[in-house]
Each structure stands twice: as C-alpha cells, then as structure tokens.
Structure 1
C-alpha cells in the first residue's frame, strides 16, 4: 500500500501481475470548514486522483453526513456517477477490501487470458508487419527484374532491327554485284566499239595482227 495526505492505495499482485488496485480517501468532520460538506463534494476529485494514479477502484471512507441513512446502511455504489467508486463508513473498510479482492481474483484468470490474447495480437501484428515488409521487398525485386527484362527485350529488338538493316544492305549489295556481273558477262567487243570508230579501228588492227601471227 501507499499513503499520502490521508489517502492511500491498496494493491495486490499475483506474481508480477497487478490484479487489483484501490484508492482510498478518508473524510471526517475535522477535515471540513465551518460549512458542512457532503460526500458528493469529494467524488469528482477522488475520481480524478484514481485515474491519475492508474487505480481500478476508488473508495471514499467518510464520516460526513452522519445522519444520512443511505450512507449508514452499508457499502454505497456510486458508479452510476463515477466509474468503480464506492462510499463507505469506516466499519466497512475491511469488508470492501475483501469483497473487491475476491471479485478481482475471480476475474484474474480472465485478465490473464486477455493479457495472453493481447500478447498474441502483438505477435500477429509483428508477423503481419514482417509479411508486409517481405511483400514490399519482393514486389520491388519483381519490379526491378521486370524492368531489366524489359530493357533486355528492348535491346534485343534493337539488335534484331540493326541486323535486319545489315541483312537488307547485304542483299542490296548482292543484287548490285549480280547486276554488275551480268553486265560484265554481257560485255562484247561489238558493244565496246559501238559508235566508237577509233576503238573499232584499234580492235580491227589488233585482230589482223593476231591473224598474221597465226
């Protein structure tokens, strides 16, 4: 338990598991001014303190309003105004601790299961995170491979186009050579001397010399 300025916190543990925590605040007539206070005057502040300290329950142990039969009958549940809050007389101090501890122990197993489920949820979240990371990396690798494949295909297409141009040029050259060869094979003395008297005379002279030598 922890104490400060007339209030204290009751905590109980199961191992390292904090399964119950109750903030108590004590009020009596000596704590008030000449003006009489009501129990409700302190509930809001008690609720704020409970939340700040991270306690599950809040209990106002009060001697205020001594003639109020509602508070004199036992443990008063005011959770309809403030969550998990009770108002009691001092004689119910031990009974309310006992009741809340017993109730907490009954729900302890459920809290354990919840903690396990939350832990598994974290594990699932981590798994999903790693899976998404893997998917992203795999997707990037696939994209990079696809880009390289596309670039390679483009390069191959360009090479094929270049080779086709070379092929076309070679075929054209072959046609030119064939035409040139045909022209050479069709070349005769008659064609060479056609409309050229000088060359015709020279060839005739060369022919006569050849015949004389024979």
Structure 2
C-alpha cells in the first residue's frame, strides 16, 4: 500500500521542520512530498539543506495548482491513497493512520478530518466558523450530504479521486468546491474527528480583505458545480 502526503507550501519556512518531524514521528509509513509554490522566504533553501522531498514549482500557481501538482505526482507514481497536510503546522499526523484505516476498511473514496465533530483543539476564529457553517448548509441543501468541516484541508483520497484531482482541480480555495464535485459524481465522502492546531508561523492566505471574495467565489463555484 503506497501512501503519499502532499504538503503545499508557500512561505512556510518557519513551519516545515516541525511538520516533517510530526509526520516522521506519527506516520512513518507514509511518503511525503513538499510542493514549494515559488516561495519568497527560505523554503527552497531549507528543503535543500534538510534534504526534504520537494517539488520546486517554477512559477507561483496558488494553493490549487500546488495541490494538483501533488496529485499528479501521486498518480504518476501509482500511489494508492494521498492526503493533503498543510505546511503551516495546523494538521496533526497522529490522525493519518486512523483516516487511512477507515478509508480502506469502509471503501470510502474520501475521508475529511473535521475539527467540529468532537470540537477539540483549535476551532478557528468566530468569523471563519460562521463562514464554515454557511458552506455546510449550502452543501447540504444542494447535495443532501452534511459536511461539518467543508474547508478542511486535511483530506485523504483513494486512487479514483487522485486521478480525478490530477486532471481537474480549482485554482482558488478549492476545498468546498472539490467536496461537492466528489459527492456529485456519486463517490463516498465521510468525516472523522481530528484535532487541529493554530498556525505555527507565517501568514494565512485568506486575509480579512479576501474573505468577502472568498465567500462569493466559493459559493458561486459550488452552485455552478451542481448545475453541470
């Protein structure tokens, strides 16, 4: 069973050492690849010095392009499953084996790590929680499926979804849109409880100014996906 961790990284030099250490400690059976999205900090130099497994993109593709690169790598190298783990230290590798076991034993196509099932660990800011609840309601209204944490980046996919995402993946804020896409194609999506942490360093890509654009863009993308 070949298992890959995809780590999209843009200016995550402060966090990558701890992220890789966490993986090596709690999920040593997983391979990993860092997708350096043309970072402007020391990410590239750090990966070279530490001999991390890395793909250095020649131009900045954004979070969607970086993650899709990881799925293309997974498909080309015949991985059986792949999971996205953010490079900012928010995701905990302690839950990866449980997610993999659940996916395989229950023949699920995608498993999402949700911080809101047991409500342990970092729960995000109040404003972001309101946005997440909005997307939960929108997705349930359009698909009939309740996803408690549709913006979670901690998502594990089987080989079918790997191929699907390698061929087509949204550029901006892709998590809610891709969940809807997978559900609409009749694939099984389930959630498991996880604990997340606050960002260990760096700056989030979703600034207060971008929040309005984020809500409008993602809402329209979800609706359009359901109308296809």
Structure showing greater relative contact order (alpha-carbon pairs closer than 8 Å, 6 or more residues apart): 2
Pair member with larger Rg: 1
TM bucket, shorter chain: under 0.3
